[in-house]
Structure 1
Amino acid sequence: MPLRQDANRPCAGSTLRVRIVRLTAPALLATLMADTRSWAQDFAYPESDIVGFSLGTPEVVQFALFAGAMTAALASALWLIRERGRIAHQNETLRAKLVVLNAHTSQLEALATTEGQRAVIWEDRDKKPAVIGALEATTGAPSDRAGFLAFGRWLEPGSAARIERLITDLRDEARPFVDTVETRGGAPLEVIGRTNGSSAVVRFSNLSGERAEKAQLALDHNRVVQTLETLQELLDALNAPVWLRDSQGKLTWVNQAFAKATRHETSAEVVAETSELFGSQALQKISDGRERGGAFKAAISTVVDGDRLVFDVVDARGPWGSAGLAVDKTEFDAIRRELGNTIRSHEETLDELTTAVAMFDENARLRFFNQAFQKLWGLESRFLESKPDTGMLLDTLRAEGKLPEQPEWRRWKNTVLSAYQAIEPQEHWWHLPDGQTVRVIANPHPKGGLTWVFENLTERIDLESRYKTLVRVQGESLDHLAEGVAVFGSDGKLQLSNPAFARFWGLEELTQREGVHISEIAKTCRDRSGDEEPWDHFAAVVTSFADDRGEETGRTPVGDVTLSWMVVPLPNGQTMITFVDVTASDQVERALRERNEALERTAQLRSRFVHHVSYELRTPLTNISGFTALLQSDVPGSLNAKQRDYVDHIASSSEALMVIVDDILDLATIDAGIMELDFIEVEVEPVIRDVTEAMQPRFAEHGIDLVVRVAPDTGSIFADAARLRQVIFNVLSNAADFAPERSTVTLDCERGEDGIVFKVRDGGPGIPVEALDDIFNPFQTGKIGRRRGAGLGLSLAKSFVSLHDGEIDINSSAGRGTEVVLRFPQVPPGVRVAAE
């Protein structure tokens, strides 16, 4: 069978074909010989004699077939040799073409990789694009492939969005494009998109020379157009007419406010119909002003939707033409006039007030004042009408002695003037040298400036003080009266009662309620006295509308007590009912009870008095200490030696007096039973060290040695640290006062059976036996000590030790010195119970 060489296959195919022929020819020959035998058997030809050989028919047929096969094999071999030569010639030709194509491809790659252009090639939609070439570094384009394909990172946002849209159309619809883009660095690039078969190629090229200038002009033009369109959108949203005119004065563009004012839908309609907002005279006035000075600014009125409106018009000339803006100020002028009228009305109203008022503008200059202001400060009208500023006004008032003298005038003045920078109103109280008290309110204005209000509260404070004193006196008098007093209003509700009234009728709980009615009181009192007649009569008298009411008296039994009552009508429609216990036995008992109550009230009054006086003393003492420290700091001025000595004595005396006041306050608190201790775990040795260090100068002043001995196992106790220090301090102070000069005072601290024991011993004159009983009483002072204090040190020490559930003992006698023993429990019982 014939074999054909494939013209499109390489030379190796021919070798393969030869092998196939060599393997196939014997098989074919064997097949043919087998077929021949079968044919020979089927056709039994007679034998033949050829060249002396006797051949039969099968041999002739086989020979003929063999000769044919050999001929076919030779012909095939010759054909294969010829085809192999032809294929070899084709391969040589193809190799030559491949060399040329490779050279051409190298040239193209060299051309693509030169500076100035970069291409992105998409061979297949599913494959990543290839990027070849490079752009100049001045463009700011990334050199890496991923960064370059992220156009939004290095192209201007508008250009990046446009290029991505064009590339999408190129790849999806094979739509070519040519565009100019701008990088973030401002460099223009030309972008060309083309398709080649199934590939899409986008080439970015640098522009230079005239092409770069043209591209830059195109970009600038687009930017100007976009900016102009943006400004037009802004002007369209502006609620004020805006217009543009050419060099001939013809309208070329107006905004929506202009179109609306001229009753048009769009700007194009206004320009097409040449509709004007203002009349011809006004337009001529605008044109003349623009030509003379380059710009026109004035108020012009016109009619819009049937209303006469006034506009502030600004029209300016430019290189191309002119532009104008009109702002409606009709409502603003009306509001300004109304505001002016309101301000004048307010000023007239303020001028009639008795409260002094002064208004200052944003420059702190006086703008308005009423007559009360001038009367309060007694200033001349000429001075006030000169509009002085606030600083000058304060200096003038100070020079005339009308302001309270301040230790630091400049600082006080700056504090007052700081109200101009404040947001919220400020309030001050000035106590003037003439005894007046003025409440000063500085109210800031929203646009700057202040309104000062000076309210003279002298008379009001005096009346309030008198009224409160009167009410207090009356209340105290009623509360301490032996007679029961009840006052009812015209509506029958209880308005005032004293404890005696509630006690007589057992109304303690009922009288504590506000607005209790006489009917409810009558019911309770009837149940108590069993007599309905008095309280029914009281209810009728209290709620009666009779004009001729008079005083009434009577008696009524209340249990074993007989009360004498009196009904007294009051001028304001109220009714007072008084009750007096007239039972002799009750009078004696009441007398004893009142005496006991008087004693308790006296004790409470003494405690309140001491507490009140102590607090009242602290205020002037604080002022004395503060001014003394100020004098010592040389801020007001330098002091000479004698003055400094006096000031030092004042400071030391103030400190001593402050200690006495603190002691009195502590004593009053303890006597009142309201002293509370803060129990914590306290290390004893640090407390002793702090107290002894503080006391060391006092001992050294008289050459006294203080010896402190603390046992190693002292540890800690639960106590009030501050009061523990105060106890040790008072005991050591007492020892320092009575110990002889150049003697020794010892402080021993050791652990006892259930706590800590402190022992303070001095070598002083001792305490007589008859004085030991009074040594812990308040205000008991020794007669031979160095310092005559208030006599509260040991009394307070005993009180604080007792509050710790401890004990204090004094072992002393005349001429043997004194030993004070303090015993503090490890944990006070109250603390232990709380812990449990």
Structure 2
Amino acid sequence: MELNRFLPLLIGLLLGAWTLVAAWAVLSARARYQRTENQLRSARRLARMVEESPALPLLVRSDGRIEASPRLAQWLGLDAVPQYLSELDGNGRGLPKNKLDELTEAVRRCQKTAAPFRMVATPEGSTRSLALRGHLADPQVSPGGAALVWIFDFSDSESELNRLREEAARARGDFHALVSLIEAAPMPMWFRRSDGELQLVNSAYVTAVGSSSAEAVVASGTELIETVDGKTPAQVARQALSQGAPVERIVHATIGGQRRALRVSDLPLGEDGIAGYAVDIEDMEEMSRSFRAFREAQRAMLDQLSAGVAQFDAKKRLSFANQPFQRLFRLSSRDMKDPPAFERLLDAARDAGRVPEVRDFPAWRREKAAWFASGDTHEEAWSLADGTHLRIVAQPVPDGGLLLIVEDRTEQLRLSAIRDTLLRTRTATFDSLFESIAVFAPDGRMQLWNRRFAADWGLDSEFLDTHPHVETLLKKIASRLKRPGEAETVGNVVRAATLDRAQKGGRIALADGRILEFAGVPLPDGNGLLAVLDITDSQKAEDALRESNAALIEADAIKTRFLATMSYELRNPLNSIGGYAEMLEHGLGGDLTESGKEYVASILQASAQLGEHIDSLLDLSQSEAGMLPLKKEDIEVMPFLRGVAEERVARLEKAGLSMDLRAEGLLRVVSADRRRLARAIGHIVDNAIAASKSGGRILVQVSRRKIGDSDRIRILVKDQGRGMDGRSLARAMEGMKVSADGRTMERRRGLGLPLARQLIEAHGGTLRLESEPGKGTSAIIELP
């Protein structure tokens, strides 16, 4: 009973236990399933991760069979993964044979010795780069001593590596090129550490400092630049590094024994250091100095020009104006200290009346301001209100500025008007001349002529209006000449005047009987003037005069023969009369009464005077005929004059006059004909006696004068008579002259003075009269 009572309990316990076991089994199975599911999921994830990883495993067993992902077949260009390693090469696909052999050998060695290996391969017909890394597989992976090869696709990495290699190679090349460039640079270059000490220098730096090598320069710290304003080059470099900005300056340094100007730049390169270089700008500085000197010389030269010149810069501001420009536009010194802009200059010029009057001045000003942007030269003429005419030339310059040239043409236009008037006057003057005028150019073509030229040569105006050549003109006038061949002489004269610049002339006879005289004269402008004159009437008069001259020559010959016989024919009777009178005076003809003696004395006096007149007449005639004989001898002047004076003592006493004979200085002898010189001076003294009043005084003064290189004796005969005016003084020296009708001779104040003048001139001396009415007359004789 008790068993039955406990049996349900036992069954219940068994069922409960069974239920618990079943529940535990279910839970345990579910846990295992969950773990299995997690493992499968993890396996699939790992497999997928392997599939997606950049490295694929290749398991090579000891018998040569392989296990790999299908992706490897794609990498190798195969349709599927083969079973054996030796099948990884296909027909033009897979690994190349040499690489496959290398891989097989490496796998075999790895399987035997567990030695890892690495290699790189590129499948055939592909650009994919594969890196193979093999080692012995873990026994858990393959317990049979298999080799596990990991294959990496590093195509992108290889490309990147190639690119980096190329860039590195290019960078190395660029660096070497840069280093070579810096080394070969003609300018000194250097590099400093951050503390300012030199680290690198190029060969130009070494040469500039005169060192042997770059290492020696760096070791000694030789600086190219000197200390300026208390700052060393290292301090300036550290300053550039601290500021983080380049420092540029111009300093002077001694290079190769010469002082050179350098533009030095220090460039900070971050924490690496400071680079520096120096550019030799001595030539630029010299060029700048030369340019400044040239500009100053050019502006000084422009100040000397008559035209005004102004220069405007690219900002349209006046940069220079020479003195004529300042005067033309009335610019003050204050304007030049603060140069105005172009448009403001036009405004000031308008206020000063130095621009033309225009209706719309702002538009006109804008038009002129457009000259700056124009590429062409502009030329204008400005007429100002005060009558001034200006020529304006505006020339744009390449730097954007403007060159303005102003020329005052007022005087030129006035001279042009005067020239036009002169040309018209010249034409009218030419046409009014009695001479024929023609002007020829150097090429032989006629330029100008007057109406008389056309009339003299018988040429029509239509022909002359063509400005014919001289050869054409000669052909035209040849038919009008008496001898046509003489036309060439006219051409020779024209060519001599225009080409040879020589003056020639000639005469030519026309067929109508006229005679023309022509001459070629070179003109200053290079042309030649042909002047032609009709001398027909003068030629006839010349022929008549020539005939008259022949008659006069014949008459002169007759006079000469007459003078040759007059000396004998006149003097013999006169000597006979004088001789007989002297015989009567001495009583050879018997005793004479007192009246007879007076008659004989009168005869002797008259014969003496007649002999004197005959001698004077013969001397005058011979002098005029050029046949006066002189018998020269050395004469002491004072004794000679004293003798002349003593011969006239009786006349002086009779006229109630006195004579004062003086000598000044030391005299010399004179070479002269004593008799004829005494006659000349005696005539002058006689004229002085005749012109003086009673109680007067006659001065005879002799002196010695130096005139140039000649030494002359001067004799002065001065009276106190009534004197003469200029007309009477001129007549006193004439003596005898031809009358107005040309047939007879008339006498002017005797023969004394004319004879004295001719006798003195025959001795090589001069006779000059000075007289004023009421102040007497002075005769001045100068003898060599």
TM-score (norm 1): 0.40
Structure with bigger gyration radius = 2
